[in-house]
Amino acid sequence: MPATVKGGVELRKALRNFAPELGKETQKEIASVLKPVVKEARGFVTTSPLSNWAREGGKFPVFNASIVKRGIGYKTTPSKPNRKGFTALAQIRNRSAAGAIYETAGRRAPGTKPSSRPNFAQAMGPLTGSGKERGRLIYKAWENDKGNATKAVLKAIDNAGKTFNRMVGTR
């Protein structure tokens, strides 16, 4: 469960409309916080977790380390609301198909659907994290970060809000 904020989306819109420079600075600040996490996550990508997975053929996404690494990134602008109505102010993403499989395989308990072969998940190593936020790449890096990035992002947004209010207040 991510930390929730109030007024963040409005603040970002206000920054975009009335203080674009401050908005850009905030984005840069958030990016500087997220970059190390992304770098660490990319470092967890191995050549091929399973020897057969890198072979072409079939409908199953082929594991290509460079594509998986390229698929790991971050986003510093607000996302669209998800199904539950939450809008994220920043995101770390693992967007490639093979990367997503490598990230999440083995989350569900054996015997539940959609099922995956236990050998497949076990061969890729253990998942790091808790609950639904378990994974081998971005979730692992996020877990290793121990919430420091979240704090820094929230601080950056808070600072931007204060600066913006000060700007408006001193008008």
Q: Which residues sit at the interface with another protein, rule CB under 8 A?
A: 2-10, 13-14, 17-18, 34, 78-79, 81-82, 84-97, 99-101, 103-104, 133, 135, 138-139, 142, 149-150, 153-154, 157, 165, 168-169, 171
The nearer residue to another protein, 80 or 111, going by C-beta atoms, is 80
Q: Which of 118, 76, 85 is nearest to 4 (CA)?
A: 85
* Shortest spacing between CB 43 and another protein, in angstroms: 17
The nearer residue to another protein, 45 or 100, going by C-beta atoms, is 100
The nearer residue to another protein, 101 or 111, going by C-beta atoms, is 101
CA distance 128 to 137: 9
* Shortest spacing between CB 23 and another protein, in angstroms: 14
The nearer residue to another protein, 44 or 139, going by C-beta atoms, is 139
- Answer for the pair 75, 91: CB distance below 8 angstroms, yes or no: yes
CA distance 139 to 155: 21
Preceding omega of 110 cis (within 30 degrees of 0): no
Q: Which of 28, 103, 41, 98 is nearest to 72 (CA)?
A: 41
Q: Which of 103, 84, 86 is nearest to 2 (CA)?
A: 86
* Shortest spacing between CB 110 and another protein, in angstroms: 21
The nearer residue to another protein, 111 or 121, going by C-beta atoms, is 121
Amino acid identity for residue 27 in this structure:
Q
* Shortest spacing between CB 90 and another protein, in angstroms: 4
* Shortest spacing between CB 27 and another protein, in angstroms: 13
Distance in angstroms between the alpha carbons of the first and the last residue of the chain: 38
Longest dimension (CA), the chain: 64
